[in-house]
Structure 1
Amino acid sequence: MQIISSYGVELRKQNIPIRQTLEIYRSAVSYLIGIYVQVWEELAEIPDAKRRFNAAEHLVHTTKKNHACFDFDIRFPKMPSYLRRSAIQHALGTVSSYKTRLDLWEKIDGKSGKPKLVYENHAMPVFYRDVMYREGAEGKDEAYLKLYDGHDWKWSCVRLDHTDMEYLRKCWSGKKASAPTLEKRHRKYFLRFSYKEEVTLTKTPVKEQIICSVDLGINTDAVCTIMRADGTVLGRRFIDHPSEKDRMYRTLGRIRRFQREHGSAQAQVRWAYTKRLNTELGKKIAGAIVRYAEEHHADVIVFEYLEMQGKISGKKKQKLHLWRKRDIQKCCEHQAHRKGMRVSRICAWNTSRLAYDGSGAVTRDWENHSLCTFQTGKRYNCDLSASYNIGARYFIRELLKPLPATERSLLEAKVPPVKRRTSCVYADLRELHLQMEILKVA
C-alpha cells in the first residue's frame, strides 16, 4: 500500500518576490482558461490526456517546429517551461470541470443555478527540482527558488524555519521528497513537501488479532480499550487534554463578550485563533490514540461511524460544532497505516446506551454525564462501557462473516442478540466465543 505524507515548511520573512511570482502565475492561468474555453470542442475530441496536453501547449507556445496560435509567449516572456506546463495543466482541469458541470446542469433541465467559469483563481505554483527549486548546503536552513522579480526570473535564496527543517532531518532523512508546492496559510507562505512510502498492512487472522477500540467523546477526548477476540481486555486508557480545552473555552468566552459589545463582524481574528487551537487539539488526540495502540501491538484500531445530520440544538450545541470527530479519525487512519495497522468502523447505534454486561439500557448521571447506572444498580463509566461494546461489535462481525450459512445460523440461534448488530454488546461477544469453542469441540 502506498502512503503519501506531506509537511509544510514555513518561509521566513525576507525580501523575496513571492507575491510577484504568484501574480504572474495566476495571470497566466487565467489567460489560458480563456483560451481553452474557446477551443474546448477541438481539445475534447482528443481522448488521450497526454496528447490533449501536448495539443494545448502547441496552441500557446512557439518552438522551432511549431508556431503558436495565441500570444502567450509575448504576454509572459521567459516563463520557465515547467511552470508554464503547470499552468496549462491547471487551466485544462478548470475548463474540463466547468464543461462537465455544465453538461450535468443541462441534463437536469437547468433547475439549479447555472455553473460559472471562474477566471480569477487561487492556483499555487509547483517548484520543480533543479529548474525551479534547489536545496541549500547540507545542514543549512535555506533553499533556492526561481522567482519573478517584476522584470525577470531569477534564483532567490530563501530561509526556511529551523524547527521545521529539524523535523524533516530527523523523521524523513534518506527519503526523497517530491517537488514542493507553495501554499499560503494564516498570511504566511509555506513550501509543502510530499513523501511516498510503501507499507504492508497487517494480515493477522481475526482470532489472533489485538484491537484498540476507541470511543470519541466530548467530555473525555477518547477512551481506548485493548481487546482480544475472546473478549479479554488487555488495557484501558482515558485520553484527555484538559489544559488545551480550557484554553479554547477561555477564548470562546472572550469571543462571546467581544461580540456582545462590538458585534460578530470584527471577531474573525479571534475565531481563527480558536479554530487553530481546536485543530491542534484534534492532532494531539489522534497522536495519543495511535501511540497507545502501538504500545500494545494492536493490529486494528476500531472507531464508530459517526455521522451527525440535521440541526444541532441544546446547551452543548457549540461543543458539538467544535467536535473534530472526522478529522481525528482521518488523522488516526493516516498514522496507523504508516505503522502497518488497519482501521475499521462499526455502527454507532446504542454503543453508549446499552450496558456492556448485557443488562440493558443505562441511565446517565445528570451531575456527571460520563457516569451511568446499569439496571443492576452498578455504577460505571459510560464511555468505557461504550468502548467495550465497540470492540465487541467489530469481533462479532468479523467472526461471523466468513462462516458458512448453516454454521452462522446455528450460532445465531444459540446467541440471538448477534443477529442484530445494533444491539450487540460485550457480553454477547463472550457468549459467542464460548459457543464457538463448544461447536469446535463437538
Structure 2
Amino acid sequence: MQIVSSYGVEIKKKNIPLRATLDIFRKAVSYLIPVYAETWEELSEIRNPQKRFNEAEHLVHETKKNHARFLFDRHFPKMSSYLRRAAIQHALGAVSSYQTRLSLWKKGELRGRPKLVCENHAMPVFYRDVMYKEAEPGEDAAHLKLFDGREWKWFQVKLLHTDMEYLRKKWSGKKASAPTLERKHHKYFLRFSYTEEVSLSKTDVKEQVICSVDLGINTDAVCSIMRADGTILGRKFINFSSDKDHLYHVLGRIRRFQREHSSRQVQSRWDYAKRLNMELSRKIAAEITKYAAEYQADVIVFEYLEMQGKISGKKKQKLHLWRKRDIQKLCEHQAHRNRIRVSRVSARNTSRLACDGSGAVVRNQENHSLCTFRTGKQYNCDLSASYNIGARYFIRELLKSLPETGRSSLEAKVPAVKRRTSCVYADLRKLYVEVNNLKAA
C-alpha cells in the first residue's frame, strides 16, 4: 500500500520575486483555460491522456516542426518548459472538470449551471534541477528559478530552521517529490511530498488486538484496548482541556465583538478560532495513534458518525466545531504509517445501551459523562460506548469468517448479534464462547 505524506517548509527570505512568479504562472493558466475550452471538442476525442496533453501543448507552443495555433509564447516568453507544462496540465484539468459538471447539469443531476472560472488559485511546481536545487547538506536554504519581472533567474531561498530540522529527523534518506509553492496566511511555503510503501497488519481476527475509540464533545476521546474474547488490556481518556478552554475564550471574545460591532471585520478572529480547532484535531489524532501503537494494536475502530439535518440546542456551536471527520482522517493516515488498519462500525445505540447487556442507561444530569445501568451500577458512559464499539467490530469479523451454516447456528444461540445496531460488549463475550464450542464440536 502506498501512503503519501506532505510537509510545508516556510520560506523566510522575503526580498525574492515569489509574488511575480506566482502571478505569471496564474496568468498563464488563465490564458490557457479559454483556449482549451474553445478546442475541447477536438481534444476530448483523444482518449489517451498523454496524447491529449501533447496535442494541447502543440496548440500553444511554437517549435521548428510545429506551428502553434495560439500566441501563448508571445505573451509568456522564456517561460520554463516544465512550468509551461504544469500550467497546461492545470488548465486541462479545469476545463475537463467544467465539461463533466456541465454534462451532469444537462442531465438534471446537478443544480445550477456550472461556470468556467478562468481566475484561479493555481500554484507552480518547482521541478528538480531545472526549477529547484537543494543547498549544501545541513544548510537551511534552497535555490529556485523565479521570474523577476523581466527574465527567469536563480535565487537562493532561506527556509525555516525548525521545519528543515524536522525533515532531516523524520524523512532523512527518503526522496521527496518536486516541491509545490504554497501560500497560507500571508506566508509562503514549499510543500514536499513523500511516498512510502507499507504493508498493513494481516493478523487473524481471533489473534487481533484493537483500539476502539469513542469520540466525544466533553471528553475528546476514550480508547479501549481489546482482544477478540472481550479481554480489556488498557483504557485511556484523552482530553485537552486547556486547548479547549483557550478555544472557548476566543469564541467568547468573538461573541462580544459581534454584539458591539455586528459581524463585520470579524473574519480574522474566526480564522484564528478555526486554526485552534484544527490544531486540537491534530493533537487528538496523534494521541490516539500513539496509544494504539504502544499496545501494538492491529486495528483502530471508530464509529461511523454522520450528522444530518439542522442542529439545535444549547450545544449547537460545540457540535458545529466538532471535527470528528478530520480526527478520523488524520488518525487513519498516521495509523497506516504505523501499519495499523482502520475500521468503522455503526454508531447507533453505542452510548445509549449499557455494555453489560442490561439495556438502556440513564444519564447523570449533573455530570453528563456518567450514567446509571439498570442494575444500579454507575459507570462512565463514554467508556461503556468504547467497549460496545470494539465489540461490534469483533462480532462482525467473527461472523464474517464463518460459513453460512455456522453463522446461522451462532445467531440462534446468541440472538442479540442478529441486529448489529443493538450489539453490546456482553454479546461479544457470549458469542466468543459459542464460537469456540462450535469449532470444538
TM-score grouping bracket, smaller chain normalisation: over 0.9
Structure 2 counterpart of 1:155, one-letter code: W
Structure 1 counterpart of 2:381, one-letter code: C
Structure 1 counterpart of 2:320, one-letter code: H
TM-score by length of 1: 0.98
Number of corresponding residues: 441
* Paired position in structure 2 for 1:92: 92
Report if aligned partners of 2:102, 2:114 keep a CA contact under 8 Å in 1: yes
Aligned-residue offset at 1:41: 1.2
Unaligned runs of 5+ in 2: none
Aligned-residue offset at 1:320: 0.5
Report if aligned partners of 2:13, 2:159 keep a CA contact under 8 Å in 1: no
**SS of structure 1 residue aligned to 2:237:** strand
Aligned counterparts of 1:210 and 1:315: Cα–Cα separation in 2: 38
* Paired position in structure 2 for 1:260: 259
Aligned-residue offset at 1:328: 0.4
Aligned counterparts of 1:185 and 1:13: Cα–Cα separation in 2: 16
Please say which of residues 170-179 and 404-413 is displaced more in the overlay. Answer: 404-413
Aligned counterparts of 2:266 and 2:366: Cα–Cα separation in 1: 33
Alignment of 1:188-227 (within 5 A): 188-227=187-226
Aligned-residue offset at 1:441: 2.5
1:120 aligns with 2:119: yes
Structure 2 counterpart of 1:5, one-letter code: S
Structure 1 counterpart of 2:407, one-letter code: R
Aligned counterparts of 1:319 and 1:108: Cα–Cα separation in 2: 36
1:71 aligns with 2:71: yes
Aligned-residue offset at 1:103: 1.7
Aligned-residue offset at 1:133: 0.6
Report if aligned partners of 2:135, 2:143 keep a CA contact under 8 Å in 1: yes
Aligned counterparts of 2:81 and 2:102: Cα–Cα separation in 1: 32
**SS of structure 2 residue aligned to 1:145:** strand
**SS of structure 2 residue aligned to 1:7:** strand
1:18 aligns with 2:18: yes
Structure 2 counterpart of 1:9, one-letter code: V
1:400 aligns with 2:399: yes
In the TM superposition, what whole-angstrom CA distance separates every residue of 1:284-342 from its partner, at most 9, and x where no partner exists? Answer: 00000000000001000000000001111111111111101000000010000001010
**SS of structure 1 residue aligned to 2:126:** coil
**SS of structure 2 residue aligned to 1:157:** strand
In the TM superposition, what whole-angstrom CA distance separates every residue of 1:18-58 from its partner, at most 9, and x where no partner exists? Answer: 11111111111111112111111111111111111111111
Aligned counterparts of 1:45 and 1:398: Cα–Cα separation in 2: 47
Alignment of 1:278-427 (within 5 A): 278-427=277-426
* Paired position in structure 1 for 2:43: 43
In the TM superposition, what whole-angstrom CA distance separates every residue of 1:136-172 from its partner, at most 9, and x where no partner exists? Answer: 1111110111111110111111111111100000000
Aligned counterparts of 1:224 and 1:53: Cα–Cα separation in 2: 50
Aligned counterparts of 1:80 and 1:423: Cα–Cα separation in 2: 62
Please say which of residues 218-227 and 263-272 is displaced more in the overlay. Answer: 263-272
TM-score by length of 2: 0.99
Report if aligned partners of 2:305, 2:324 keep a CA contact under 8 Å in 1: yes
Aligned counterparts of 1:114 and 1:397: Cα–Cα separation in 2: 44
Alignment of 1:239-250 (within 5 A): 239-250=238-249
Aligned-residue offset at 1:102: 1.5
Aligned counterparts of 1:340 and 1:354: Cα–Cα separation in 2: 32
Unaligned runs of 5+ in 1: none
Aligned-residue offset at 1:266: 1.2
Structure 2 counterpart of 1:281, one-letter code: L
Aligned-residue offset at 1:406: 1.3
Structure 2 counterpart of 1:425, one-letter code: V
Aligned counterparts of 1:393 and 1:103: Cα–Cα separation in 2: 42
Structure 1 counterpart of 2:2, one-letter code: Q
Aligned-residue offset at 1:440: 2.4
Aligned counterparts of 1:288 and 1:431: Cα–Cα separation in 2: 32
**SS of structure 2 residue aligned to 1:394:** helix
In the TM superposition, what whole-angstrom CA distance separates every residue of 1:180-235 from its partner, at most 9, and x where no partner exists? Answer: 01111111111110000000001000000000000000000000000000000000
Please say which of residues 385-394 and 26-35 is displaced more in the overlay. Answer: 26-35
Alignment of 1:167-178 (within 5 A): 167-178=166-177
* Paired position in structure 2 for 1:180: 179
**SS of structure 2 residue aligned to 1:22:** helix
Aligned counterparts of 1:234 and 1:108: Cα–Cα separation in 2: 54
Aligned counterparts of 1:220 and 1:103: Cα–Cα separation in 2: 46
Structure 1 counterpart of 2:40, one-letter code: W
Structure 2 counterpart of 1:428, one-letter code: D
Aligned-residue offset at 1:13: 4.0
Please say which of residues 329-338 and 89-98 is displaced more in the overlay. Answer: 89-98
Report if aligned partners of 2:30, 2:119 keep a CA contact under 8 Å in 1: yes
Structure 2 counterpart of 1:82, one-letter code: Y
Aligned-residue offset at 1:400: 0.3
